[in-house]
Each structure stands twice: as structure tokens, then as C-alpha cells.
Amino acid sequence: MSAALARRGEPEPNLVEGEFAFTAGDFRRIAELLYEQAGISLTETKATLVYSRLAKRLRGLGLQSFADYCALIASPEGADEQANMLNALTTNVTRFFREPHHFDHLRDQVLAPRLDALRAGGRMRLWSAACSTGQEPYSMALTVLSLLPEAPNLDIKILATDIDSKVVAQAREGRYAADLVEPIPGDFRNRWMERDPSNARQWRVGEAARSLVTFKELNLIGAWPVKGPFDAIFCRNVVIYFDEPTQETIWSRFAPLLGAQGRLYIGHSERVTGPATVGYASDGLTVYRRAGGLR
């Protein structure tokens, strides 16, 4: 319809009423770029969300309309703004010990059977593949420390990655407002978290937990410069933003990176689907292990 209107020289109607003109054509251009760059699939039902998240960018840049914004991000001068757009459109909701049964499973099924081996110099690698502001990988680190307080001196490493450069920087800092640390069990908080001396209403993840985690930017639909095998991969509450073929590709790429006893933890509303299913066996609620015979 928008193409027909454009052919007749009529202005396209706005998808969302507001300060800036925002047409279906503008939405489509933004959605296409987001899909191409991050795999995130948006339908027009998300138009209001896109408008509200990007209106701030338009204001900051002094632009008059989304058409101007689309022209900017399509131009060579707009390369930096593409990254800002991506950061603005990702949904970063997370919390410490979200879906707590995964951390119990990690402790009981992945860590506990390996304690002696790890104390004797064995290797353990964990990956939080969409780490947002860091609560997920730090919850993994606190789980490790609860069984192995000496973990910083052992060969245990947690890789934490996300496409959004802003959240990765925040996560690396490891500073959280008091209300955000509430889900952390009291004994973990007392032992492994520190009150920020410069701000009484803020906590910082202690050095022991921070030393276990390495943060990096990584796009799940791009190359993965990571070294497996992993004992656990947490990829939770991110593939829901992808279409099915993209999800299936990601599941297929994780399987060969898991060790023989490796586990994949996914979000509560996600399922492993497609050809990759033969590579996994269910190991509890939204937990998978490598099925024999892959590799």
C-alpha cells in the first residue's frame, strides 16, 4: 500500500502518532537492517516500541523524521549510528538467578561431579551467550564459588558475550543498584558481593566472581571466535527474538561446541527445534545434553 501511495505522490500515513513522522516504509527499513545485523525479527506490531526506543536518538541527533533517520543509517556517515540503533532496539531484561532451577542444575549436575577433577587441575568452560548486563554470568560465577571458593585459582573460566556494546561495558563493571541484587541469596551476597564504597545504594560483584568472567561483544548470527568444548552454554531468552531458521542454525552451531557431558540451558519459552534436535537429549526443564552419536 505504501508503494502505491508513493507512486500516486501521496504521503504515507504514520504508523505511530507522535513528534516524528514514522511510516510503514521507515519501519520496514529499520526492521530489515536489524534482521540483517542481529537476526532480530520484528513485525509491525512492534512499531510503537521501535518508535519510542528510537525517538530519543532522533531528538539527540536533531533529526526531523524517521525518513531522515533511515537516510542517515543507510549512509557511510551513519555507521556509528547503526550500532546505537542496535543497542537501542535490543531488549536487555535480565536478573540475578533468573530461572533459578538452571543454577541448581549447573551446581548439581555439572559442577558437583567434577569437584575432585577440577581441584586436581581439570578444565571447565562455561558460556553465557547473551549475557546482557551481566547478571546471568555472575550468577554462574557465584554458583561456581559456592562449591569451589578456590575457583579463581583453578582452570575455570566463564565467557560472557552479547551483541550490545553498552550492556557488555556495564556488565564488565559489575555494579548494581541495591534492588537488583535482591534475588542473590543472602549468604552469597555477604560473601561474594561488596557494597560500593562510593555509593551506599550500590553493590559491586566481588573480585573473586569478577575474575572468573571474561566479557566480549559477540553476534550470535556472526562468527564465533570461541574455544570449546564447553561444559555449559547458557543461551536464554534471546532466540525468541529470532525467526525459526535462525534459531535452528544457532542450535546446530552450539552442539559441536559442547563437551561430552556439556549442557545447553535455554529460556523458559524456548525449545530446540529443527535438524539440531538429533544432537541433543532433554536433561530437565529447558536443559539439554549432547546426544550420543553427534560429532
> Which three-class secondary structure state does DSSP give residue 84?
helix
| 75-to-69, 148, 164, 253 alpha-carbon distances in Å | 10, 51, 21, 33
Query: Min. distance of Cβ 161 from ligand SAM in angstroms?
Result: 7
Least distance (Å) from ligand SAM to the CB of residue 207?
Answer: 23
Q: Cβ of residue 200: shortest distance to ligand SAM, in angstroms?
A: 27
CB 14 within 8 A of CB 26: no
Helix (H, G, I), strand (E, B) or coil at 14: strand
Give the DSSP H or E segment for 171: helix 165-173
Query: Which CB atom, from 38 or from 156, has the smaller least distance to ligand SAM?
Result: 38
Nearer to ligand SAM (CB atom), residue 95 or residue 123: 95
CB of 239 to ligand SAM, least distance (A): 9
187 is catalytic: no
C-alpha cell belonging to residue 31:
526492521
Closest CB to ligand SAM among 39 and 279? 39
Q: Are 231 and 171 in contact (CB under 8 A)?
A: no
The residue annotated as part of the active site, out of 26, 162, 164, 231, is 162
28, 53, 57, 195: the active-site residue: 53
Verify cis geometry, omega within 30 degrees of 0, for the bond prior to 229: yes
Residues lying near ligand SAM in the complex (CB under 6 A) are found at 38-40, 90-94, 98, 130, 132, 136, 162-164, 167, 219-221, 236-238, 241, 267
226: nearest Cα among 93, 104, 131, 91: 131
Q: Does residue 164 have an active-site annotation?
A: no
Any idea which residues carry the catalytic annotation? 53, 162
